[in-house]
Structure 1
Amino acid sequence: MRQQSPSSWAAICVCIAALVHFALGFAIEFSVDEAHYVLYAQHLAWSYFDHPPLVGWIQWPLVTLTSCEGIIRLLPELLWILSCYLVYQVTLEVHHFIQGRNTGYLTSALPSANTCGLMAVLAIIAAPMPHVLAIGLLPDTLLAPLSLGLMLVALRWLIKDHFSIADWLVTGVLLGLAGLSKYTAAFTAIALLLIFLSNPRKPWINKLGFWIAVVVALILISPVLYWNWINDWISFKYQMAHGAGSVWLWRRLGAYLGIQVLVFGPLMILGAYLFVKHFIHGTKLSLLALLGFFVIPFVVFISLSGGGGLPHWTSPAWFCLAPFAGIGLAKAWSTQHHHLIRILFITQIAICCMGFTYVLSGGISSAAFKSNPIADLYGWKLAGQRAAELTQASKANGIAVQNWTLGSRAAWYAQPIPVFVLDARKDQFDLWFGQLPRGANILLINWSGMSFAPPVGSGPAFERCEPLETLEIERFGQILSKFDFSLCRNWQGPELTE
């Protein structure tokens, strides 16, 4: 490592990881969430049922040019690279802030800023979950660099103690874009507010620039507010119910914490612990406020996890923790504590590589369809194309699935055939394709990974369903899943409403 500077090594490691992401991006089909968000780009709107619109808007130029998964996935890759760059820059600024506010032992104990930046980037690269965000565009992929940008804004405030009009404008734009990315950006905004409040004086509240930033942020998120206003605030109602989850259980909380350690890695946790141990005193209030960019969203999601939650929801928070973890790891490295850091880093990289291999293999070690989560990433393109052909040949009114998670891949790969979700839950598909009319004939897709009995009989159902054919999906000689296509005639149920 002496042959290259720490910044060069950081760039080299990011490039190696990016090449792996690039290869995987062309090798696998869209996941359920990815397909849902590229459909956002195909159906541009002021906002959407389950998320703000930026995740769709930002993909629109690429989606209008190509349907190739690998090309469309260049966008999350660029955002991941930007996030790594911002992690490095935030680490340098935190290092500079500690140096500027301390003298004596604390300052002399600081490793070099570039070494801290390298360690922070390595902590991100060694964590499995950020690689998922680098391959597939999720709202969290957008929120991570925006949260880091707001951390830079916060550090600039802490160091300078005042803002120019340009600084306030940048703050307003970042807040607005974060609000257009995901509703949980509210937690990042609270963390930024705590930074301003950590100053005993409050000169910002009477500044014109502060109110300009507020107005800019509100203007940017106004499409979301307008769309929800004319749609009975359905996004906010959905998100509150979704965040609350189901019955709260302690075992879900324990499982969520364990998954967080696994997907973001003990290396990050060790580094954060060492930072708190060695550097939190001296500038305690300011640094504690800065740690709010991690603590606030993480604590909220952990407290809700007893009712259910997805592990990637905390991803922007972990990106914001990485600069502190980098400083802590660099401190341990500088004191010759190399052994544990090497073991954790190599172990986590090995887990990432095993994950990449498992995805490329199709999870062929799993014997049963439902036990293989990777099967979900293969076969939908072929099934969608065949469903479109059968729909046209049978002159059906469209395609139907029985769960919304099956609808996005069907709608993307069978486009422009409309897709209807046969349940009573109102969702984005109702807004895109309308409601299934009475008397309609539909091509029903049943996937082995989430199988349902055909909806025939009493209640909302068809008069009859006739099996047409079965499509088996193979990879490396083993069947991963199968798709059953049926022609269902004469929709007998009521209009599909809530």
Structure 2
Amino acid sequence: MVILPHLTDGKSGSNRVEGKQVERPLPGTRPSENLPMSPRHIAVAIVLAFTLVRLLWAYSIGFGIDESYTIGQARFLALSYFDHPPLHYWMTHAAGVLFGTSWAVRVPTILLFSGTSWSIFCLTERLFGGSAAVFSILFLNLSLFFLVSAGAWIVPDGPLLLFLACGAQVMAKIFFPRPGEEEPSISWWLLAGGLLGLAGLSKYSAFFTLTGLAFFVMTTPQRRQLSRRGPYVACLAGLVVVLPVLVWNGQHDWASLRFQAGRGAWQFSPWALARIILGQIVWLGPWIALPLIRALLHAFRKGRTERELFCLALAVPTIGYTTLQALGSGTGFPHWPMPGWLFVFPLLGARCGGCAWPTIRYAIVTSSLTLMLLTVAAAFGASGALQRLNINVHDPTQDLVDWSPVLEVLVRLKIGMPDGPAVAGLNWAEAGKLDAAVGEIAPVLVLGSDKRGFGTRSDPRLSSRHGLVIVASEEAWARDGTTVSCLPEDARPVARLQIGRGGQAEFALLVIPVEVCVGRAH
């Protein structure tokens, strides 16, 4: 699987024969070279097949905490938001208008990743040939994070990855024109800047990819581009696109940027570094992670072509910083480096493109394993079957439980009436689940100290509300209920609602009405 195909000098597929330069196709560009049919036809089939898999997955399971939180925050349009730039919130708002709070709000994310897959195919095809491009997107779609999280969940990685991939594809057209192609015009630079600006409008981590791109331009023969107008036009276009984020942060005391920067406080922790490395291997899937790592290391050792250096420049800053910062901060999540790994897949495809049949056999095995795991995960996520096994471990799928049954209880307390009470959670995560369930009929706020986006959004319905109804899990009430200073001493639950999946009660929600909560903040 990891046999390296012959690669070109990075500028064109050419050899010198008796003093003359003879053009030859890059490996894998001819359908008959390594694959049984046209690479583009195979790529379309791969994209369509995995789009169907993601649709089935999205239909099968409920919303997690981050998705529920995003759905609630997206009800209120703003220039930007506390946790992330606004693009995926804007998309979720539009999807909510079309589909309501149903599984179908995931459809835009699924379609976005179909576009990401095709863009990575086109990028790899230009850099390393058609066979390499097929294997790059096949293994991309078999990687757990890209298959499920970035490919189907309502998170900022969906638009981030699409616009990073499209921006890189346009930059590759500028840097590595094919024989006979016209010199890229200023419009290509404008398009690249706009696409990379949209990546910045999706997630702050796009900065690391842009840093790598700038480093590539300045340290390779592509530095000649700096004497032209194109790079500066692209920078200006990107800056215009991300203006909403800058304006919103300026209006809110740079709250979002300060929150993200605050995650890197110094706390030496080798264990955190080990945890984030192991987490990346699990998220990628070990059967994909190990070949990816080998492809990355091989490109480092070899490093002879601009095309490989281009992929390394796009990948390494994100992977390197978000991994190593865990050593000094004690914090970090394994999905943070994933935008960097996106650009290692073309390198993996290049390693596989020259040995199609051994790689196809490996792909069949990994496809079977991945789809089997996905089916099992969907079954557990939809049914809560892990609870029935009586294993004394935390069930990570419990976050998928739907909180909408609480709506029937709240309606009896005049929730939804014009002057009825507001609804509150004790932390941002539980308030997010509440917001997805009842936010359409009542304002939702947070009483705890960590309010996240609830602390900066403006809900005009709050001004007309009288009283408050707190909804909290028993665990949260026992842990945080006594720390909320604005609650009266006689605040007590009036209802205990068992919720779960598949007719199985998994945990209880407590409903606590409060007439007055002095000093509350949303």
Task: Decide: shared fold, TM above 0.5.
Answer: yes
The one of 291, 295, 301 equivalent to 1:270 is 291
Distance (Å, rounded) in 1 between the aligned partners of 2:198 and 2:385: 37
Matches within 5 A, 1:62-141: 62-95=95-128, 113-130=129-146, 131-141=148-158
User: Where in structure 2 are the equivalents of 1:141-180 lying within 5 Å?
Assistant: 141-160=158-177, 163-180=184-201
Map of 1:217 onto structure 2: 238
Contact 1:461–1:491 (8 Å) recurs in 2: yes
Distance 1:411 1:90 in 2: 40
Tell me which of 269, 278, 289 is aligned to 1:258.
278
Q: Map of 1:43-442 to 2, 5 A cutoff?
A: 43-95=76-128, 113-130=129-146, 131-160=148-177, 163-200=184-221, 202-242=223-263, 244=264, 247-265=267-285, 266-271=287-292, 273-274=294-295, 277=298, 281=302, 283-284=304-305, 287-306=308-327, 307-333=330-356, 336=358, 343-365=365-387, 367=390, 371-384=394-407, 386-392=409-415, 397-415=421-439, 416-425=441-450, 427-433=452-458, 441-442=467-468
CA contact (8 A) 1:419 1:433 kept: no
Aligned partners of 2:385 and 2:313: how far apart in 1? Answer: 39
Q: Find out whether 1:445 has 2:471 as its counterpart.
A: yes
From 490, 499, 518, the counterpart of 1:464: 490
TM-score by length of 1: 0.85
Report if aligned partners of 1:117, 1:326 keep a CA contact under 8 Å in 2. Answer: yes
1:160 CA drift (Å): 3.7
The DSSP-based 3-state class of the residue aligned with 1:45 is: coil
Distance 2:162 2:243 in 1: 22
Contact 2:84–2:204 under 8 Å retained in 1: yes
**Is residue 399–residue 443 contact of structure 1 (8 Å, CA) maintained in 2?**
yes
Which deviates the most, 360-369 or 473-482? 360-369
Distance in 2 separating the partners of 1:241 and 1:178:
22
Matched AA of 2:216: I
Contact conserved, 1:119 with 1:330, CA < 8 A, in 2? yes
> Considering only aligned residues, what root-mean-square deviation do their CA atoms show, in Å?
3.2
Q: Provide the rounded CA distance (Å) in 2 between the counterparts of 1:185 and 1:258.
A: 23
- Structure 1 match to 2:502: 476
For 1:192, give the aligned amino acid: L
- After superposition, give the CA deviation of every residue in 1:404-425 in whole Å (9 maximum; x if it has no partner): 1111221222123122211233
In 2: Cα distance, 1:325 partner to 1:337 partner: 11
- Determine the C-alpha separation between the residues in 2 that align with 1:196 and 1:80: 28
TM-superposed CA distance for 1:73, in Å, is 1.0
Distance 1:94 1:352 in 2: 32
Measure how far apart 1:385 and its partner are: 5.2
- Relative distance call for 1:428 and 1:118 in structure 2 (3 A) is same
1:39 counterpart SS class: helix
Q: Give the Cα separation in 2 of the matches to 1:457 and 1:59.
A: 34
CA distance in 1, matches of 2:385, 2:47: 27
Unmatched segments (≥5 aa) in structure 2: 1-33
The Cα of 1:237 is off from its aligned counterpart by: 0.6
TM-score (norm. length: structure 2)? 0.82
- Over the matched positions of the two proteins, sequence identity in percent amounts to 22
Per-residue displacement from partner, 1:232-256 (whole Å, max 9, x unpaired)? 11111111012x1673311121121
CA shift for structure 1 position 81:
0.6
Deviates more, 1:379-388 or 1:301-310: 379-388
Q: Give the conservation status (yes or no) of the 8 Å contact 1:464–1:490.
A: no
In structure 2, what is the Cα distance between the partners aligned to 1:116 and 1:452? 55
Q: In 2, are the aligned partners of 1:37 and 1:56 still within 8 Å (CA)?
A: yes
The DSSP-based 3-state class of the residue aligned with 1:484 is strand
Aligned residues: 476
In the TM superposition, residue 275 of structure 1 has moved relative to its aligned partner by: 6.8
Q: 2:331 is matched by which residue type in structure 1?
A: G
SS in 2 for 1:472: strand
Aligned counterpart in structure 2 of residue 10 of structure 1, from 43, 49, 58? 43
- What CA distance in whole angstroms lies between the structure 1 residues aligned with 2:163 and 2:283? 21
The answer on whether the counterparts of 2:427 and 2:450 sit within 8 Å (CA) in structure 1 is: no
Q: Tell me the distance in 1 between the aligned counterparts of 2:363 and 2:483.
A: 61
Do the aligned partners of residues 355 and 314 (structure 1) sit closer, same or farther apart at CA in structure 2, a change above 3 Å counting?
A: farther
Q: Structure 2 CA distance, aligned partners of 1:280 and 1:362?
A: 47
Distance 1:27 1:286, change over 3 A: closer
Amino acid in the other structure paired with 1:175: L
- Structure 2 CA distance for aligned equivalents of residues 232 and 279 of structure 1: 42
SS of match in other structure, 2:136: helix
Larger displacement relative to structure 2 (322-331 or 1-10): 1-10
Distance 1:183 1:458 in 2: 32
SS at match of 2:268: coil
Residue in structure 2 matched with residue 110 of structure 1 by the alignment: none
**SS at 1:227 equivalent:** helix
* Cα distance in structure 2, aligned partners of 1:164 and 1:393: 56
Is the CA contact 2:299–2:308 (under 8 Å) kept in the aligned structure 1?
Answer: no
Partner residue of 2:512?
486
8 Å contact from structure 1 (residues 274, 325) kept in 2: yes
Distance apart, 1:29 and its partner CA = 2.7
Separation (CA, whole Å) in 2 of partners of 1:309 and 1:143 = 19
Where does structure 1 lack aligned partners over 5 or more consecutive residues?
96-112
